[in-house]
Amino acid sequence: MPRTGRRPGAGGTGEKILAAARAHFARVGYEAGTLRGIAAEAGVDPSLVLHYFGSKEGLFRAAVDFPVNPADFIPRLLAPGLDELGERLVRFFLETWDSPAGRPLLALVRSVVASEDAAAILREFVTREVLGRLARALDVDQPQLRASLAASQLIGMAMLRYVIKLEPLASAPPEVVARWLGPAVQRYLTDPGVTAARPKPTIESMAASAQVSLSDQLNRIPAATRPTVKAAIKLVKAVAPKAQEIRYRSGPPRSKSMMWKLVRYAVDGDNVVGIGTFSSHSALFFYRGRELDDGSGLLQGSGKDSRFVTLRSPADAERPAVKRLVRKAFKIGAAAR
């Protein structure tokens, strides 16, 4: 794949400009970013920015290290027409990430968890340079909103596949993942119903929603995971019987790769432990999991603070190691008050 922008020598002026550009774009966004401001942060003359990167757009692409120019590949994605456009887009991103040329971009995806700057610049690039261009080419209403929604699907997919490594998404071939997720991306980009106005909820409908109990919520989740979720709830209540039980008001997720958050437990308003489920397994997630992580491998995830434990059966919730984690989580929560 052809690279975009003029690449600087390692450790030289160009690298200083790139570092300043990443920080600048992450802080103010592409539209508000200026070459003069980036040059000032890098401590160089603005003419050097143009010398290395040609334009603000070229510098932005180089800062993200995207291996191909969106202006080149978007026409190719659109050429076959609108049918299965979502699948082609998902497959293109996966093949790009998986290719040798996509390694810097994949490193950026992995750094999103620990770096707000990385998250901001990746989100801005995918939304503006890729999906924004695509939505404008489709001549649809609210292209920026549609681009943002599609970006959430693509970046979420990357996080689950490459960072969290959630199966079966992590090891599925790109064409299979494209069939799974393509329809959702297609809907965000082209379905008129996505942006159609909907009636505001009435007081009566809000009250009815609030009356749904946790037991009603449990009856709606997959039967295969219901005993595991109940075992997890029993464990938390046994460890912290006085904890506040706060039910999530979310509905079923649109994708099997998404977790359905069900309930969380808090101490004096501070969340400690949450419980959610997928179609085939459940999870205990800890809001201050980074402090709990002892390196044993039981806790999974690499978020700034949260971690989770996968529960595949009720017996997993009864494991002594899991019970110790829950007890320790509430001790940390009590000590922080």
pLDDT in tens for each of the 337 residues of the chain?
334 444 444 458 888 888 888 777 767 666 677 888 888 888 898 888 888 888 877 787 777 776 677 777 888 888 888 788 889 989 988 888 888 777 766 776 776 666 666 677 777 777 777 777 777 777 778 887 888 888 888 888 888 888 888 999 999 999 999 999 999 999 988 888 887 766 565 555 444 444 557 787 888 888 999 999 999 999 999 999 999 998 887 667 666 667 888 899 998 878 899 999 988 899 999 988 888 888 888 898 876 778 899 999 999 999 999 999 999 999 987 765 5
CA–CA distance, 300 with 237 (Å, rounded to integer): 23
End-of-domain residue from the set 165, 194, 223: 194
CA–CA distance, 311 with 231 (Å, rounded to integer): 10
Residues 121 and 180 in one domain: yes
- DSSP for 134-195, please give it: HHHHHT-SSHHHHHHHHHHHHHHHHIIIIIS--TTTTTS-HHHHHHHHHHHHHHHHH-GGGT
Residues 146 and 221 in one domain: no
Residues 153 and 270 in one domain: no
Number of domains in the chain: 2
Let me know if residue 5 belongs to a domain. no
The candidate with the shortest Cα–Cα distance to 137, out of 70, 195, 57, is 70
Residues 326 and 229 in one domain: yes
Report which DSSP code applies to 300.
Answer: B
User: Under 8 Å CB-to-CB from 319, ≥6 apart: which residues?
Assistant: none
Residues 173 and 292 in one domain: no
Residues 185 and 213 in one domain: no
Let me know if residue 244 belongs to a domain. yes
Residues 226 and 149 in one domain: no
Let me know if residue 82 belongs to a domain. yes
Query: According to the model, what pLDDT value does residue 3 have?
Result: 40
Query: According to the model, what pLDDT value does residue 5 have?
Result: 44
The CATH number of the domain where 323 resides is what? 3.90.1150
Let me know if residue 11 belongs to a domain. no
Let me know if residue 56 belongs to a domain. no
User: Under 8 Å CB-to-CB from 69, ≥6 apart: which residues?
Assistant: 2, 4, 61
The CATH number of the domain where 104 resides is what? 1.10.357.10
* 308 strand-pairing partners: 285, 300
Residues 187 and 239 in one domain: no
Query: According to the model, what pLDDT value does residue 321 have?
Result: 93
Let me know if residue 203 belongs to a domain. no
Query: According to the model, what pLDDT value does residue 9 have?
Result: 45
Domain, as residue range, for 331? 208-335
User: Under 8 Å CB-to-CB from 34, ≥6 apart: which residues?
Assistant: 56
Residues 177 and 133 in one domain: yes
End-of-domain residue from the set 194, 223, 242: 194
Residues 184 and 269 in one domain: no
Query: According to the model, what pLDDT value does residue 115 have?
Result: 63
Calculate the alpha carbon distances from 178 to 12, 86, 89, 95, 167 in Å: 40, 8, 8, 10, 15
Query: According to the model, what pLDDT value does residue 189 have?
Result: 84
Neighbours of 13 (CB within 10 A): 17
> Global pTM?
0.47
Let me know if residue 185 belongs to a domain. yes
Which amino acid is present at 283? A
Let me know if residue 4 belongs to a domain. no
End-of-domain residue from the set 194, 225, 256: 194
Residues 114 and 185 in one domain: yes
Residues 189 and 289 in one domain: no
